[in-house]
Amino acid sequence: MSLFNSYKEEVVLKTKGEILRLERAGGLAARVLQFLSSYVRPGMNGLLLEKICRRRIEALAHLGRIEKFPDFPSFLSVSINDTVVHGVPNDRPFRGGDLVTLDLVLSLDGWYGDTAITIPVGTLSPPHARLLHTAKRACYAGITAARAGRRFGDIGAAVEKCARDEGLTVFECFAGHGVGRELHEGPTVYMRGEYQVGRPIVPGMVFSVEPVFGFGCQEYYVGEDGHSLKSKDASYTALFEHTVAILSDRTVVLTDPNRHEISTRSVP
């Protein structure tokens, strides 16, 4: 049986009101991340960014109860170059040519927002610029494929095509996930797949699309901080992540920093 043809995982469809709450959380995470991205420059470091992040969140406390994910030591994950995901902020200064991935998870009144972006520091080498642009393009290709009436294999297939076109690799061991009152819910959203294969995509689903791109090696190891996962061959990686809501007539990116409200008339 194909990996993408398993429908046993429980998926809780979200109501109109629940999607609105998730939009508030996702929009907040996106706007904070957009604010932080302007500070990514040579000489900045992850510890300072986390402090700026916390001050920004404290200034927004009037919006509701804002909390970090309890299983990670900070609001912000800062992954530099060969740190694939889950980098814990530290005092290593950013340098020109770095790829810095900021992944922000927060809950607002008990509903999660989850989004990530990879940011270049200064001028990148041509291969690293290609990696960055392809990872971003692949994330949006996956979002474009995430439509009611299609299947989850379509998302992975669209992401994989971007990788093949540029001679890059998608890390198969990392996947998107449902988002709701828990950060990690069903469905698991694999970043590889076959068109027209897998669980049907239906209105009311809310999940993340988050392809992690590299240059070939998919092996990694756990860093000294006990959280960060680092590329075994020390090659650079890039990640873009958005959380989306499936409506009957369209898909809404809940972590778009420019979105303030959504119409959910077509969500049950």
Q: What is the mean pLDDT of residues 28-55?
A: 98
Confidence at 268, pLDDT banded by 50, 70, 90: very low
pLDDT in tens, 208-219: 999 999 998 899
pLDDT in tens, 120-143: 999 999 999 999 999 999 999 999
Residue ranges of domains in the chain? 3-253
CATH 1.10.10.10 fits 3-253, yes or no: no
Q: What is the pLDDT of residue 5?
A: 36
Please report the beta strands in 58-98, taking only residues with DSSP state E, as ranges in sequence order. Answer: 66-68, 76-80, 83-85
84 in Cβ contact with 231 (< 8 Å): yes
Amino acid found at 255: T
Closest CA to 204 of 226, 228, 186: 186
pLDDT one-digit tens code per residue, 160-211: 999 999 999 999 999 999 999 999 999 999 999 999 999 999 999 999 999 9
Cα separation, 106 vs 44, whole angstroms = 23
Helices (H) and strands (E) in the chain, counts: 4, 15
